[in-house]
Structure formats: structure tokens, C-alpha cells
A = this chain, B = another copy of it.
Amino acid sequence: MVTLAEVARRAGVSPSTVSYVLSRKRSISDETRQKVEAAIEALGYHPHAGARALASNRSNILALMVPLRSDMYVPVIMEIAMAVTTEAREFGQDVLLLTKDEGTQGVRRVAGSGLADALILMDIELDDDRIPVLRETDTPAVLIGLPADPAGLACVDLDFEATGAACAAHLAQLGHRDVALIGEGEGVYKRHTGFAARTLAGFQRGVAEHGLRAVHRACEGTYESTAGVLSRILEERPGTTGFVVQNESAIAPLLSLLRLSGRAVPEDTSVVAICPDPVALQASPRLTSVSIPAEQMGRSAVRLVMAQLDGERDPGPATLIPPTLTVRESSAAGPAARSDGVVRTAGAAT
């Protein structure tokens, strides 16, 4: 193994000089810098991570805690993880992968051992038991997701409340009067992450603001449950022409079922999904959707955590990414608009 001392000897300088060349914490003459860099290159020197961590009290490692299984869609988790890793490298940090099932023990271990400088947590529950540990150990951290009480914690998430409202508004604008939200499974509303509840709240706000009539139903996402949910909605409110879906796995069943029931999308019924873009694009017709900004969430999380490591004390309010609703082929003018003579959107016309 090549050490800093060897580099120093070869460059004819003292070890500390080599260190300063590397860290840029003191000024170094061009001449010296070049000698040192040549020596580093020639020897293929890489600073020893452990020694560095010991001496500087910084490991340059961020720990990312990922759910083993969760309500989240796996590719989204993966995309976040990759975005975090890529962005972390931009800051010269590496990423340590932890699983959520290590729980509070894992947080204690990593924070206590100086293995990582900071934590990024995913799949945040409303009352997440890792949060008190974070507060108590005073570890720099960022949550991807929103807990019940985010005070003093840095958080990143899609603004699901605005998302729900945006979906309702979109359907209202198209002239739909009776709309439905097909959401996540029962359980998701009760325990977990709150994003489902926030979407519902926003949806209801949008519905109220636009004077729509709406129903909401939880849905497990299987073909059977989707069929049950849909038939109940259509029974109660046969005039429902606008749907918002929040469960990726319910999308395909819903589209088939609508087709089977003789309702053409978007001619008779509009569908808006809340899902990753690839899912929306692969459905047929391609779906009008609010995308899950996975990459952006991952990158923001890293930036927030780096700001903390650079001394930022106040995490500020949660970073809520505003939703982007992309109109595609699954939504078009509804009954009210049509009787008003409003023209259909381009997607539907082609």
C-alpha cells in the first residue's frame, strides 16, 4: 500500500505538505504542487479512508437507509438510491447502504461509530421511531418523506397535497363533474407514510374548490380489488367520468376494466395517474400523470445533507417538490365541457 509518507519522500517534501496539497487548506506553491501531484500519479496513491476518518473526524460517507419492502414502488426506490449515489459522488462522498429493518439500532450503530457522517432515510412513517434517535444523537440527516412532526428536520418529498389538488383541478377544467380517487391499499392510510392521506386531502380541497362531486376508495391494486372498487364507484355514482389513480398496480386493471365496461378512455372517461413517468408512458393509452420526481428527491436530499455538514444549522421548512402534471392521452373534455362546446385536447383528438 502506498502511503502519504512515501509520496512525500518521492516529492521531496514533508508529509504535511502533501496533505495540504490534497486538502487545499493552505496555500501551496505551484512548483511544489506539481511535484506532489506527479509523485501521487507515479505511485498510484490513494489516501487511506480509515486513517483519514480517524484524523479528520469525517468519513466522507453518507448512509442511505432503504426499505426492504414498502408501499413504495421498487423502481422509484432504486432511482432515488441511484440519484443519491451519483449526487453524493459529486460531493466526494460515498454511500453506505442500510436496510430499514436495521431500524433504530442501525441508526445508532452508524452514527455512533463514525461510519457515516450523515443519514438519508427513506420510507418515513408518520411516527417513525428513527426520528427520536436522530434528535437524541444529533446526527445530520435528511428524510425522504414527511413525518407527522417534521420540526427541526430536513425533509424532501413530492408535495402530495398539491398533487391531489392538481389532479382534481385538471379534471374540473376538462369539464368533469363526478370524479373518483382510487388510492392505495387500506393499510397505507392507517399506519404509514402519510403520502396517501396528503394526496386525499389535496384532492378533496381541489374537489371543493371546483364544486365537483367526488368519492374516494382505497384499493389494494390486485385485479380483483380494483374490479370491486370500480364497480362500487360506478354503482354509487354512475355519472363518474374522471378518475385519479394513486396505486401503480391498479392502473393496468383499471384500464382493462373500463374498456370491458364499455367506457372508452379518454372519450367517455378520463384517467389521471400519480406514478413514475415510465409507468404512465407504457400504459395504453399513455396516461396523463403527475410523475414521482425520484431523481430530484435523491439529489435534493444529498444537497440538504451536505449543507448540514457544511455547518448549516437550520434545516428550514420541508422541501416539497411541486407536482408536474403532464397531459397525455388518457384525459379529455368531460360531459360539462362537451355540452359547452369545448374542444378536446390534442392527445384525445389524434
Does A304 belong to the interface (CB within 8 Å)?
A: no
* Chain B residue nearest in CB terms to A51: B54
Q: Say whether B50 contacts A54, CB under 8 Å.
A: yes
Contact residues of A between 67 and 82, Cβ < 8 Å to B: 68, 74-75, 77-78, 81-82
Query: In the docked arrangement, what's the CA distance between A99 and B45, Å?
Result: 22
Question: B residues within 8 A CB of A1?
Answer: 114
Q: Say whether A46 contacts B96, CB under 8 Å.
A: no
- Copies of this protein, total: 2
Interface centre among A52, A74, A101, A113 (most CB of B within 10 A): A113
Q: Say whether A96 contacts B96, CB under 8 Å.
A: yes
Q: Say whether A115 contacts B94, CB under 8 Å.
A: yes
* Chain B residue nearest in CB terms to A46: B112
| Given A82-B68, A99-B85: A114 in contact with B49 (beta carbons within 8 A) | yes
Q: Which size class do A's interface residues fall under?
A: 35 or more
Looking at the assembled complex, report how far the CB atom of A333 sits from the nearest CB atom of chain B, in whole angstroms.
27
Does A64 belong to the interface (CB within 8 Å)?
A: yes
Candidates B66, B78, B82, B114; contact of A50 at CB < 8 Å: B114
Question: B residues within 8 A CB of A112?
Answer: 2, 44-46
Q: Say whether B81 contacts A97, CB under 8 Å.
A: yes
Q: A2-B112, A46-B109 are in contact. List 15 more A-B contacts (CB 8 A).
A: A44-B112, A46-B112, A49-B53, A49-B114, A50-B59, A51-B53, A53-B53, A75-B78, A78-B78, A85-B98, A86-B99, A86-B101, A89-B102, A94-B98, A95-B97
- Chain A to chain B: the 9 pairs with minimum beta-carbon distance, closest first: A50-B53, A46-B112, A50-B54, A49-B115, A46-B113, A49-B113, A97-B97, A50-B50, A95-B97
